Amino acid sequence: MRRNVWAAVAAGLVVAACGESSVPEIGDGGGGGNGKYDVTVTRTTLGIPHIKADDYASMGYGYGYAFAEDNLCVLQEDLVTIRGERARYFGRDGSYTIIPSGVTANNLDSDFFWRMSTTEERLAPTRENTLPEFKEVTAGFVDGYNRYIRELKSGAHPGRHAACADADWLFEIETDDMYRRYLRLAIIASSTVLMNEIANARPLLSLGKAGEPSEDEKRAALQADPGPLRYFTELRGQRFGSNMYALGREATQDGSSMVFGNPHFPWTGPERLYVAHATIPGELDIMGSSLYGVPAILIGFNDHFAWSHTVSTAYRFGLYELTLNPLNPLQYIYDGEIRDIEQIPITIDVLEADGTISQESRTLYRSHFGPMLVLEVSGIPVLGWTPLKAYTMRDANAENDRLINQFARWNQAESLDEFVRLHGEILGVPWVNTVASGPDGQAYYGDITVVPNVPDSKVTVCQAIPIHAVVQTLVPGLPVLDGSRADCEWDSDPDAPAPGIFGRSNLPTLARNDWVGNFNDSYWLTNPAEPITGYARIIGDEETERTLRTRLGIRQIQQRLDGSDGLAGTGFTLPLLQEVVLSSRILSGELAQQTVLDEICPDAGGDAASACAALAGWNTRAGLDSTGAHVWREFWYVLSGNRGGTGGDYWATPFSADDPVNTPRDLDAGQAAVQEAFEAGAAAVAASGFDFDAPLRDIQHPLAIEDDIPIFGGQFYEGAFTIADSDPLDANGYEVEYGNSYIHTVTWDENGVHAEGFVTYSQSTDPANPHFADYTREYSAKRWHKFPFTPEEIAADRIREYRLSE
């Protein structure tokens, strides 16, 4: 009989010396290391777990246990959600938001969506095709995670995880819960954006007196309210974004390679990043960050290479217009034959207000392409389900069974060349660009991702008229094809690992000796010296205006290489790279502050005059001691249309594809809209109660951590590179809920890899955990921490160590 787990842990408690302090070391958890699992977890400063085992299963076990120590409740709620059991545990009237996309679903709609999206048919390919060793990792993670739950429920870890410790939704999980989590992450930029539209799709038996809305009515409705398509217009590349550089030998002062990675992810919810280090001698030695619940490093480094990601502009799905049987809206015509729309009956449990459990049933629908959907915005069925037409989607990432294998093989890789080769061979990256480099390596970029194989030529001959043109006005590049013709199915490339997606030869890449970078615009200006062109529109746009953040990201490198940024010398060192990427420059301020002071401020009165006085002393940055930064932000928030894009209407010099980094520019301060925006911004500052000349450290702090921590950084719409995203200014200041998350700066020397960085919101979401806010305080102070990698570095930085066996 297995010994009581916590009794065994407590019995093994000893005190070990580490430098000048004593640290607890938890001994064998029972079984003497001769059973199924045996792993050592060493915690270093700021709570980073270093997981060392002799086999994959044990590595997963240690990872699952360590992760549960830090973030049990957040992951558990997500697993309940993708089981389709929110209504069962959180009630009929609740809801939740998928934070990166901004989509909110009530608990019922959520459950119905996930029950259809994670059926056995949907999960089986990923489960069956996952590499054998990472099936072991997945199973080990589940067992380690469950062990911690058993300990918590038996009374161990008192005071920890108060949000769920006594909840009925804290239960032991199964391996399929992990495969559901993998699938959820694969489709977060595709199917889940249309969750409500799929969960509520129903056939309309009659058009009624109004008839089918016209093309103009549909276009006007979308422009007035994009609905969930807002994710692909206003949010993608802005909130759910990232910055990254790979520097080759020509960009650094000593000829070394460097990688900077900085995804912009939520500071709340399950789409956060967790830092860990996994070692299996002779198999892998990899460190970096993973999204919650993924026991593989997704952005990381080792002695051979480092990499990072940014959200790509490519679409991961396509829409099809179905021509229906006019006598039966549940049938459609395909190549002259009639096919049935599959009906999927689903019943869920619902917790009622009186504590009883009821059942609710609904039928969801699928074509052979994928789920049916109905998109209604501003009261207009833009994508309706009439007696004549209906709409369905095909999601390439719902078919992607290679995601875990991609990162598993990268974790095992032993050279930059192997990393690059695996990128194209496996082609399992779901929705992010990649940069990478390594010792003496080139700077590599690739948008080698899962993209529907819809070349422009296919769109030309297969577009559904007129709805394709309507959709293009809002989301250019997203195809709406004729679903009645077999020749309008997605193409397949001979070098693609699966049908229906582009192979590597039709996806953009670039390798250079100086640098590559991406900031969520398309691949086109990965390096302006060598623009990338000639790819399908579904992947991205070319020769179009870039965001202010992209332009600043490029200018920072250009100015560092020619020495015009005021820093020492030319080219990068690791400290100079760190100074550049956290400098908190605001490009709109650099471009337009003086114009505002010269052309608007002389005639300003009231609140606007106070705003001008503050801006006269602003340093065009969003640093902690920057005064007036909030004044500029509120002005630009209004001017840019409340998060609304790249701008352009208020610039005197328009965008030019011949000078894309420096255009548009020259604020047209004579426009009434510019002056009105300035006055509105000044009024917003006055209404907030904060002084116009208050430093940012008094205004900006985390939403969900400890609110006495000041946070530097600005907003994407004002041209910040260092991102701290929040709602507009109010009496609570700026409460950061998004932005810089995991950050690493990596290089190599004769001793191997040298990496420093942060996880901005800290390692734990449990307020009772000592690592709930410690890394956030270090980030606030810009105290870069070296990530311990070698055994000697780990031992020197150890704060706690324990061995787990079962």
> Which domains, ranges and CATH numbers included, belong to the chain?
5-194 (1.10.439.10), 584-720 (1.10.1400.10)
- The rounded mean pLDDT for the chain is 93
Q: What is the DSSP string of 264-333?
A: EEESSSS--EEEEEEEETTTEEEEEEEETT--S-SEEE-SS-EEEEEE-S--SEEEEEEEEETTEEEEEE
Determine the pLDDT at residue 210.
56
Name 95's Cβ contacts closer than 8 Å, sequence gap at least 6: 104, 105, 106, 107, 110
CA–CA distance from 411 to each of 138, 288, 301, 450, 456 (Å)?
A: 15, 10, 9, 20, 35
29 in Cβ contact with 108 (< 8 Å): no
Is 242 marked active-site? yes
Question: Is residue 236 very low, low, confident or very high in pLDDT (cuts 50, 70, 90)?
Answer: low
State the DSSP H helix or E strand holding residue 35, giving kind and residue range, or none if neither.
none
Calpha distance 505→313 (Å, rounded): 18
Determine the pLDDT at residue 31.
40
Phi, psi dihedral angles at 335 (to 5 degrees): 50, 45
State the DSSP H helix or E strand holding residue 590, giving kind and residue range, or none if neither.
helix 587-599
Calpha distance 312→318 (Å, rounded): 16
| Residue 32: Cβ within 10 Å count | 9
The partner residues of 343 in beta bridges, in order of sequence, read: 365
Average pLDDT over residues 439-458: 97
CA–CA distance from 482 to each of 19, 385, 459, 464 (Å)?
A: 69, 15, 9, 5
Within its chain, how far is the Cα of 701 from the centroid? 21
Calpha distance 126→136 (Å, rounded): 14
Calpha distance 612→605 (Å, rounded): 9
| Residue 466: Cβ within 10 Å count | 14
Poorest-pLDDT segment among 217-226, 269-278, 292-301, 435-444 = 217-226
Show the tokens assigned to 159. Answer: 């005071």
608 in Cβ contact with 686 (< 8 Å): no
**DSSP 8-state symbol, 341:** P
Only one residue has tokens 């250079």, namely 512
Between 178 and 98, the more confident residue is: 178
743 in Cβ contact with 663 (< 8 Å): no
Phi, psi dihedral angles at 495 (to 5 degrees): -100, 15
Determine the pLDDT at residue 325.
96
454 in Cβ contact with 394 (< 8 Å): no
Q: What is the DSSP string of 700-730?
A: EEESSS-TTS----B-GGGTBSSBEE-SSPB
Helices (H), 130-280: 132-153, 175-186, 195-199, 215-224, 230
What is the per-residue burial (b if ≥16 Cβ within 10 Å, else e) of 711-735?
bbbbbbbbbbbbbbbbebbeeebbb
Whether residue 525 is predicted with pLDDT greater than 50 in this model: the reply is yes
Show the tokens assigned to 106. Answer: 């009530």
Show the tokens assigned to 773. Answer: 């806010």
Q: What is the tens place of the pLDDT at every residue in 606-627?
A: 999 999 999 999 999 999 999 9
Find out whether the peptide bond into 381 is cis, omega within 30 degrees of 0. Answer: no
Determine the pLDDT at residue 647.
45
Show the tokens assigned to 767. Answer: 């307020």
Whether residue 207 is predicted with pLDDT greater than 60 in this model: the reply is no
Average pLDDT over residues 649-660: 95
Q: What is the DSSP string of 54-121?
A: SSHHHHHHHHHHHHHHHHHHHHHHHHHHHTT-HHHHH-TT-EEEETTTTEEEEHHHHHHHHHHHTSHH
Determine the pLDDT at residue 20.
31
**DSSP 8-state symbol, 498:** S
Phi, psi dihedral angles at 365 (to 5 degrees): -135, 150
CA–CA distance from 586 to each of 319, 555, 582, 635, 721 (Å)?
A: 38, 12, 11, 13, 7
One-letter amino acid at 615 equals L
Question: Is residue 208 very low, low, confident or very high in pLDDT (cuts 50, 70, 90)?
Answer: low
CA–CA distance from 511 to each of 546, 590, 591 (Å)?
A: 21, 31, 31
- Which entry of 101, 110, 190, 242 is annotated as an active-site residue? 242
Average pLDDT over residues 466-475: 94
Percentage of the chain with pLDDT > 70? 93
Percentage of the chain with pLDDT > 90? 88
Average pLDDT over residues 525-553: 97
Whether residue 8 is predicted with pLDDT greater than 50 in this model: the reply is no
Whether residue 19 is predicted with pLDDT greater than 80 in this model: the reply is no
Q: What is the tens place of the pLDDT at every residue in 729-777?
A: 999 999 999 999 999 999 999 999 999 999 999 999 999 999 999 999 9
150 closest CA partner among 6, 1, 295, 2: 6
User: Count of H helices and E strands in the chain?
Assistant: 22, 36
Whether residue 15 is predicted with pLDDT greater than 60 in this model: the reply is no
Average pLDDT over residues 52-79: 98
The partner residues of 97 in beta bridges, in order of sequence, read: 104
Determine the pLDDT at residue 23.
31
534 in Cβ contact with 310 (< 8 Å): no
Residue 617 CB-density burial (10 A; 0-12 exposed, 13-18 middle, 19+ buried): exposed
| Residue 583: Cβ within 10 Å count | 17
Q: What is the DSSP string of 367-380?
A: -SSSBEE-EEETTE
Q: What is the tens place of the pLDDT at every residue in 683-725?
A: 999 999 999 999 999 999 999 999 999 999 999 999 999 999 9
Determine the pLDDT at residue 703.
95
Question: Is residue 149 very low, low, confident or very high in pLDDT (cuts 50, 70, 90)?
Answer: very high
Whether residue 351 is predicted with pLDDT greater than 70 in this model: the reply is yes
Question: Is residue 223 very low, low, confident or very high in pLDDT (cuts 50, 70, 90)?
Answer: confident
Q: What is the tens place of the pLDDT at every residue in 394-434?
A: 999 999 999 999 999 999 999 999 999 999 999 999 999 99
Whether residue 30 is predicted with pLDDT greater than 60 in this model: the reply is no
Whether residue 628 is predicted with pLDDT greater than 70 in this model: the reply is yes
Average pLDDT over residues 478-496: 98
Alpha carbons within 13 A on the beta-carbon side of 19 = 13
Alpha carbons within 13 A on the beta-carbon side of 360 = 18
Whether residue 14 is predicted with pLDDT greater than 50 in this model: the reply is no
